[in-house]
Homo-oligomer: A and B are copies of this chain.
Amino acid sequence: MTSSFPMQNYPLTLDKFIDHAAKWHGPATIVTAARGVAVDRVGYATLRSRSNLLSGALQAVGLRTGDRVWTLAWNSAHHLEVYYATMNAGLVCHTLNPRLTPAHLSAIVNEAADRVLAVSANLMTLLADLLPLCPTIERVIVLDDAAEIAGDAWPVPVDALDGFVGTYGAAVDWGAFPEESPAGLCFTSGTTGAPKGVVFTHRSNYLHTLMSIQPDAYCLSAKDTILVAIPMFHANAWGLPFSAPAVGANLVLPGRDLDGASLAALIRSENVTIAGGVQTVWIGLLDHLDATGGDVPSLERIIIGGSKCPDALIRRMEERLGVRVQTTWGMTEMSPLGTVDSIQFAPMASRSSGRPPIGVDLKLTDAGGNTLLVQRGTIGNLKVKGAAIIERYFNADASALDSDGYFDTGDLATIDEGGSLTICGRSKDLIKSGGEWINPAEIEDIVGRDPRVAQVAVIGKAHPKWGERPVLVVELRTGGAAQARTLMDGLRGRIADWWLPDEIVTLPRMPLAATGKIDKVRLRAGYEAGEYSDVQRARD
């Protein structure tokens, strides 16, 4: 055996994906849209060369390996160009949610010490407030449309993308760094705590991509046209900006417009086959089609993630849209794929979140971190391990793992005999009533099956005798608050009597985090502050 490696040195870096698509999938197209209308089409070969020139431009203005570039942008080819330009040059693409407040944004940007901001043109109105709060930002690049730049005086240079590349662009060699180098940075949404930074590496993103494209996972092919209705600032839009070029699929990037009318128009005009997004997006699509008529005949599948999707909504989507709904579970700390319900099997009546693909391992522990002896059919704290799962948060001194090398998801879960996962709630969301635990997720699951219910959450309220008592919060699709009490009928006999909520709050619109998840932190705060007017006793 010689000492040199017998197989080629082939670092798992993300430039491989766009190089591959440019060379082998020339006809594939990346479509960028605004208000549901395609405004730009670019092939992978052009995207590759544009990204490469942008890499050179970023290096020309002084950025060096490991430096962070902040993106405040919608889903577009320009945003994708910044992804590849930064990552492939050894820079770190730091995506951030434009819907956060300037105070939140600047706190994160300062922690990350981002040097350049790439901002969508229609978000430039934020700059006047933001830039003074973000002293590490040396330069701004404007994406998507540069019409609004002229006439303003900015504290740092502000260039349209094309102008910036025209001035500084140069072809460079990509990938001359170890595969463990950081590629992306994304802060968690903070619905359950303070935002924390997750650093994706080239290796973790590469392996996540290979893992996610397989038939029992996202099942992606060069034949597909993929609508990315997950923001690219949220966990790399589930990795689709990597997996689409890896397989040579067409990409449809809808800009900021995720409303039902825009998505329906785009699915039809681009013959989208697969669409990914959280459930609220698809409720919008369903409501639009119900109101206006029409179909989306090309669409074969919708991948949903985020919070658990009620079975009634899944049925409605599958029947009305003629698609297969594919449920998944994951989190930013997992890049994000954790489990996925394979479309190779007939769907189950009640949809779990599926099994982990190779490269993700799960285990259940008790609250003390001890692995449960019985891993099937019991509820436990969910711990995860894998190549694309976090070891430590950005700037953290300590590892985020337990002594066995697993990461604690904070979720409660159960795994059935077939290995399929069902999230049963957040360990932090549990309500302690009279010394015993009530799991809000179980109540939400039952109420969520009622077709009148659009969104449901159960939160704890302080109670002098019992410690905490459950409160049911609903957003109704049909019917008013007067009917809300009848939702209790569906609960009686299905859960223990002492689990039955004490109160029902009816909201016109559930507070959602920017990711589409119900924001229970805001919900509890609003309830405690007495902000909700429509509160009624649930039980006599």
Q: In the complex, A207 Cα to B358 Cα: how many Å?
A: 12
Asked if B210 and A215 make an inter-chain contact with CB atoms under 8 angstroms apart, the answer reads no
Q: Given A214-B214, A358-B20 in contact, is the A387-B1 Cβ separation under 8 Å?
A: no
> Which chain B residue has the least Cβ–Cβ distance from A356?
B24
Give the interface segment out of A121-129, A388-396, A460-468: A388-396
Asked if B392 and A2 make an inter-chain contact with CB atoms under 8 angstroms apart, the answer reads yes
Q: In the complex, A418 Cα to B222 Cα: how many Å?
A: 12
A190 at the A/B interface (Cβ < 8 Å)?
Answer: no
CB distance from A186 to the nearest CB of B (A): 11
Asked if B394 and A344 make an inter-chain contact with CB atoms under 8 angstroms apart, the answer reads no
Chain B neighbourhood of A211, CB < 8 A: 210
Stoichiometry, as copies per complex, reads 2
Interface residues of A in 202-245 (CB under 8 A from B): 203-204, 207, 209-211, 213-216, 219-223
Pick from B24, B198, B215, B392: contact of A4, CB under 8 Å: B392
Q: Which of A216, A394, A418 has the most CB of B within 10 A?
A: A216
Q: In the complex, A180 Cα to B7 Cα: how many Å?
A: 8
CB distance from A152 to the nearest CB of B (A): 33
A386 at the A/B interface (Cβ < 8 Å)?
Answer: yes
Q: Given A12-B387, A213-B214 in contact, is the A5-B180 Cβ separation under 8 Å?
A: yes
CB distance from A380 to the nearest CB of B (A): 15
Asked if A1 and B394 make an inter-chain contact with CB atoms under 8 angstroms apart, the answer reads yes
Instruction: Count residues of chain A with CB under 8 A from any CB of chain B.
Output: 71
Asked if B8 and A386 make an inter-chain contact with CB atoms under 8 angstroms apart, the answer reads yes
Asked if B247 and A10 make an inter-chain contact with CB atoms under 8 angstroms apart, the answer reads no
Chain B neighbourhood of A256, CB < 8 A: none
Q: In the complex, A342 Cα to B248 Cα: how many Å?
A: 12
Pick from B201, B221, B344: contact of A5, CB under 8 Å: B201
Interface residues of A in 161-210 (CB under 8 A from B): 180, 182, 198-201, 203-204, 207, 209-210
CB distance from A206 to the nearest CB of B (A): 9
A16 at the A/B interface (Cβ < 8 Å)?
Answer: yes
A135 at the A/B interface (Cβ < 8 Å)?
Answer: no
Chain B neighbourhood of A389, CB < 8 A: 7-8, 10
Asked if A8 and B390 make an inter-chain contact with CB atoms under 8 angstroms apart, the answer reads yes
Asked if B387 and A7 make an inter-chain contact with CB atoms under 8 angstroms apart, the answer reads yes
Q: Given A358-B17, A396-B2 in contact, is the A8-B405 Cβ separation under 8 Å?
A: yes
Chain B neighbourhood of A199, CB < 8 A: 1, 6-7
A434 at the A/B interface (Cβ < 8 Å)?
Answer: no
Asked if B391 and A6 make an inter-chain contact with CB atoms under 8 angstroms apart, the answer reads yes
> Which chain B residue has the least Cβ–Cβ distance from A92?
B1
Chain B neighbourhood of A215, CB < 8 A: 213-215, 219-221, 247
Q: In the complex, A24 Cα to B201 Cα: how many Å?
A: 27
Chain B neighbourhood of A355, CB < 8 A: 24, 222, 248
Chain B neighbourhood of A5, CB < 8 A: 180, 201, 391
Chain B neighbourhood of A16, CB < 8 A: 358-359
Q: In the complex, A342 Cα to B24 Cα: how many Å?
A: 13
Q: In the complex, A359 Cα to B245 Cα: how many Å?
A: 12
Chain B neighbourhood of A10, CB < 8 A: 359, 385-387, 389
A419 at the A/B interface (Cβ < 8 Å)?
Answer: yes
Q: In the complex, A214 Cα to B19 Cα: how many Å?
A: 19
Asked if B391 and A4 make an inter-chain contact with CB atoms under 8 angstroms apart, the answer reads yes
Chain B neighbourhood of A356, CB < 8 A: 24
CB distance from A363 to the nearest CB of B (A): 9
Q: In the complex, A356 Cα to B223 Cα: how many Å?
A: 15
| A396-433 contact mask (Cβ, 8 Å, vs B): 1 or 0 | 11010100010100000000001100000000000000
| A339-377 contact mask (Cβ, 8 Å, vs B): 1 or 0 | 000101100000000011011010000000000000000
Asked if A358 and B391 make an inter-chain contact with CB atoms under 8 angstroms apart, the answer reads no
A25 at the A/B interface (Cβ < 8 Å)?
Answer: yes
Q: In the complex, A23 Cα to B201 Cα: how many Å?
A: 27
Interface residues of A in 1-59 (CB under 8 A from B): 1-2, 4-10, 12, 16-17, 19-20, 23-27
Q: Which A residues lie at the B interface, using CB under 8 A?
A: 1-2, 4-10, 12, 16-17, 19-20, 23-27, 66, 180, 182, 198-201, 203-204, 207, 209-211, 213-216, 219-223, 246-248, 342, 344-345, 355-356, 358-359, 361, 385-397, 399, 401, 405, 407, 418-419
- Not counting A2-B397, A10-B387, A24-B355, a sample of 5 additional A-B residue pairs whose C-beta atoms are within 8 angstroms of each other reads A1-B182, A7-B199, A8-B389, A210-B214, A247-B358
